[in-house]
Amino acid sequence: MLSRLLAALFVSAALMAPAQAQDRIVPTSPQQLKLSYAPIVQRTQPAVVNVYAGKTVPRNPLLDDPIFRRFFGVPGQLQPEQMQRSLGSGVMVDSSGLVVTNNHVIEGADQVKVSLSDKREFEAEIVLKDSRTDLAVLRLKDTKEKFPTLDFANSDELLVGDVVLALGNPFGVGQTVTHGIVSALARTQVGITDYQFFIQTDAAINPGNSGGALVDLTGKLVGINTAIFSRSGGSQGIGFAIPANMVRVVVASAKSGGKAVQRPYLGARLQAVTPEIAETLSLKRPSGALVTNVAPGSPAARAGLKLSDLIVSIDGQQVDDPNAFDYRFATRPLGGSAQVEIQRGGKPVKVAIPLEVAPDTGRDEIVIKSRTPFQGAKVANISPALADELRIDSNVEGIVVVDFEDSAPAQAVGFQKGDVIQSVNNQKIAKTSDLERATREPARLWRIIVVRGGNQLSVTLGG
């Protein structure tokens, strides 16, 4: 018996030896060593550009006072206004000279220049900015030539582990290519845009890469590099890109001549499913998007969506949380409908939600100019489109702060974009004209009721 066992082990070892040897093959020609991403880089690199943005910073008005300059030892000759510059990357997405980049690269810029891979520079105009996705579209000025472009990939087909290349201009050293894999998909806790659904990659991404290309091994654009997680300021192997399917929506709006991105409007508020909610609903795991509010007359209401419905998929794609639904819904083309599967009372139900834009009439935006705590604030009446954009309840009463002038006193005293102003010195504020009227006369104290993040705050400010 022992002899048979030894013989069997000997035969097994003999059979395994050739297989193990075959795992290691010595190259027999130089061609077998030429495994390279160079063909992909050569095809994609001409469509990746550098973006230079400049913003004029006004001189401190105190410097115009000769007494102030003498007291603080400022030289007699005043320095000119300074230019603040930022550097990023971009991707040519239309041969006519249309470039997509990150909104934060060109935000507030007075002038924008685009440098091509062949070192030529062009002035560029901002065609469209979309802070909700942190994307912007530029157009090269004074040119009629055809430029190389990148085609969009279907980013929904990406898988964790796919090899990707990142192209951009890190630290301003010049166009650079790095490679890695897709580390994760549908990252929703990054916190830099309204649509939290990022591609995570370990391809090295550094400052200056923002707006650059993330491409697959076919040379197609799978994402726009946008952010990194870093304790040092440099790449630590955790980078995030906006999926190409979202980029495609923003570019399409720019091509159509729109000044704002056209997206489908749901008209419902959604909440993440916590373990406690999952236990209450007898779910196997905390997944889906729970409906907490439905606006009357909205697409969600007309489709029959109801309070406490649990959305589990859209057009057959699984919905793990509200961020996943927002992304999937926002990337659907307008017109037609989206097939949404819900759980209602433990039973599956399907509803068809129309894909249409939110009504946006009667904003009546104004800037408050009077010397009050509201000075420099741009306010507007609340429309469904504005409520959707600012993530506030469209049924809340009041007017909303949508922006500020540079160095606005209103911002200095603590007002924020998205604040809903309901009352000023016991005067109800229902329209922008109400606030304008309430701030015409000076006051020693200003008693203001504001809704922020769904919470009502009572504020008293000095005049």
Q: Which residues are catalytic?
A: 104, 134, 210
Place of tokens 């209602």: 344
Place of tokens 């991404």: 205
